[in-house]
Structure 1
Amino acid sequence: MYLEHFGLDQRPFRLTPHLAFRYPEPSQVDALTTLRVALEQGEGFIKVVGEVGLGKTLLCRTLLDQLESPFVTAWLPDPHLSPGTLRTALARDLGIELPARPTQQVVHERLQEELAAMAARGLRPVLLIDEAQALPASTLETVRLLTNLETEQRKLLQVVLFGQPELDRRLAMPQFRQLRQRITYSCRLEALDHDGVADYIAHRLERAGGSERLFSPRSVARIARASGGVPRLVNVLADKALLSAWGRGRAEVTPLDVRRAVADTEDTAGQLWWPRLAPAARVAAFSLVAFGAFLALEMLAGGGG
């Protein structure tokens, strides 16, 4: 919508994880390094925890992209699985052939056989589970039991759990003490500070073919404050601010554009700037952005006719 106006090749602040736009935030870099070291050492369980929007899924995909032979990876993005469904999904993701309608006993035996065969060939299977805080208790116990399989030298299956802070609270429960004791490495993702947000915005704009000068320093500071340094919220606010500036025909995002974006976005610190503005007024304020965008489109259409 606003790409041509700002000289961009693509949207810089899309929400879907995109490896080409990955920003080397310090806690992400540290976590990735720890994961690589732990996997190389053959540790059974590794845990990565971070609040919503801090890039756990992007980190997971980055690890998947970087792990090469002898590692063989399986990724479970949906944690709402029964123990049997998890075993079947793991087997198929690892390329293990199963009968058309296998019993769980057959699946378990095939997993044991094939994991041992992979180890004999020097392969190292790794299971990555996203949103692990939502795993049912019985499924989490199944994951623990799978890591019991081992040779004299190492585990036959390594597991990386990616989850929100609720994962730590679940693992602190007495019923999960055996699993908790097997987690040898833990990583925690952190929010960006002000300078980190500024670098993040500049990095995304550069990758999209634009310039960091599209955002004034005061605009960046307000995005940093309102987002709390959460990359997902930075993306939401920056994208809406660009839309606002485009709708007003401006070549640069100003604090006014950020204020409008904040007023239209949940989970931001918008009340820090507009404490007296009622919810209806906030909606009306950002509707100006949409109206401006509509007028810009009308002008473009008229010029093309």
Structure 2
Amino acid sequence: MRLRLKAVLAGLGKSQSDLAREIGYSPATVAQLVNHGFWPKSLPQNEMKDRIRRALRAWAADEAVLDTIFEEWPEPRGNAARACPLTEAQKEDEQMLLQNESLTPEAREHFGLPRSPFVDDINCLEDVFVSSATRRQRAALMDCALNQGFMALVGESGSGKSTLREELEERIRKENRPVIIITPYVAEAEKGDRAGIYKPRQIAEAILNTLAPGDSIKQGAQARSRQVHEALRASRQAGLNNLLVIEEAHKLPKVTLRALKSYMELKDGLRRLLGVVLIGQTELDRLLSATAPDVREIVQRCERRVMPPLDDDLPAYLQHKFNRIGVQADQVFADGVYDAIRARLVAIPRGGSAADKFSVCHPLVVNNLVVRAINAAAAVAMPRVTADVIAGC
């Protein structure tokens, strides 16, 4: 059970370590209280409460808020998974672990938000935020669809890869592009059977089920390959382009990568019959390493694109999100907040130095951080989210 005190500290821009020093208790004792509601049995509870209230008054906390700081604060809803599992930078008292968290009704009312700008937020093309960086990825995806290309779209979890894929499908539909998208389903692997995910046969079945849904699939590998070739040729002769899109491609076994090369070499005369887009997390970059001799031929043919962090596009991104719900971002954020978010989302790998730092300022991570900050600011009745609130979340 978390206490509301946690959000109040964030709203004041103070850490749990700051509180521990101010009231004269150990950081571990304060962490147990703030994060889990565990009062130390060996210490007088009333005395500890009085010390905490005095500390908060010294930090200019609102008196009305002091009456609520020891109440339960709702836990994050849904899966409380890390938004950015690669983040290992440590704050003073804990690792930077950003959890999915819902905007509270109190926060929505306090800031006049009709709904969350980050939940069910993409329902049409106009809802998709387009930056100068993602514009290049979008163009590459469409080029791959129209010209039977081969590319890999690589990015951290929550960086917007799937959104670009969904937007590609929507643009193809709205612009009446002559493209058929083939999407294999991720098959669950048996225990210990890594090759159970995206086996070559499953790729062939996906192609045939999309292009020739009424046909029975041949059992032999040679007959099935010929059947795939004929289906792709018939689709091409009908004036259509065929695009195979594989999500979670970092799970591809190498035997399937080698099979993809055979499919991509299928032609009708001089014209290729199939384009391929691989979409996956950063492990996909390692899978497609040019130093791996068993997949070198296919790697050399693959154009790799990496999803960049928002960074310079962060203000425009948040303004876009809030504009889509009819709210000006400046009503919610004080000066300096965008710089504070960027600074908060810089990570250093475990064992690394400052020279190894990297940005994790990706959409999902930003969304989670901003929601936590809005909840924290509302909990202490602040008129706007400040840089100190961001630093405390």
Q: Does the aligned pair in 2 maintain the 1:147–1:157 contact within 8 Å?
A: yes
Aligned residue-pair number: 257
Structure 2 distance, partners of 1:52, 1:4, is 31
How many Å separate the matches in 1 of 2:391 and 2:305? Answer: 34
Q: Match for residue 183 of structure 2?
A: 75
Equivalent in the alignment of 2:127: 21
Match of 1:117 among 224, 234, 239: 234
Distance in 1, matches of 2:157 and 2:247, equals 12
Residues 247 and 89 of structure 1: CA distance in aligned 2, closer, same or farther (over 3 Å): farther
Aligned positions of 1:1-305 closer than 5 A: 1=105, 2-14=107-119, 20-40=126-146, 42-67=147-172, 68-76=176-184, 78=186, 80-94=197-211, 96-99=213-216, 103=219, 105=221, 107-171=224-288, 172=290, 173-183=292-302, 185-193=303-311, 195-213=312-330, 214-227=332-345, 228=359, 229-261=361-393
Question: By how many angstroms is 1:165 displaced?
Answer: 3.4
Deviations 1:222-271 (A, max 9, x none): 1121123222211110111112223233332123432342xxxxxxxxxx
Match of 1:293 in 2: none
Answer yes or no: is the 8 Å Cα contact 1:73–1:94 preserved in 2: no
SS at the partner of 2:269?
coil
Q: Which amino acid aligns with 1:215?
A: F
- Deviation at 1:102? 5.7
For 1:103, the aligned partner's letter is Q
> Structure 2 vs 1, CA of residues 78 and 5 (structure 1 numbering), >3 Å: closer, same or farther?
farther
Q: Deviations over 1:264-303 (max 9, x none)?
A: xxxxxxxxxxxxxxxxxxxxxxxxxxxxxxxxxxxxxxxx
Rounded to whole Å, the distance in 2 between the matches of 1:191 and 1:250 is 29
TM norm structure 1? 0.75
Identity %: 28
Q: Computing the radius of gyration over CA atoms, which structure comes out larger, 1 or 2? A: 2
SS at match of 2:202: helix
- 1:93 and 1:7, CA in 2 relative to 1: closer, same or farther beyond 3 A? farther
Alignment gaps of 5+ in structure 2: 1-104, 188-196, 346-358
Instruction: Point out 4+ residue stretches in structure 1 off by more than 6 angstroms.
Output: none
1:281 aligns to what? none
Q: Which amino acid aligns with 1:128?
A: V
Per the alignment, residue 291 of structure 1 pairs with none
Tell me, in whole angstroms, the C-alpha distance in 2 between the residues paired with 1:188 and 1:175: 23
Return the offset for 1:176. 0.7
- The answer to whether the Cα contact below 8 Å between 1:60 and 1:130 also exists between their aligned partners in 2 is no
Q: Determine helix, strand or coil for the equivalent of 1:159.
A: strand
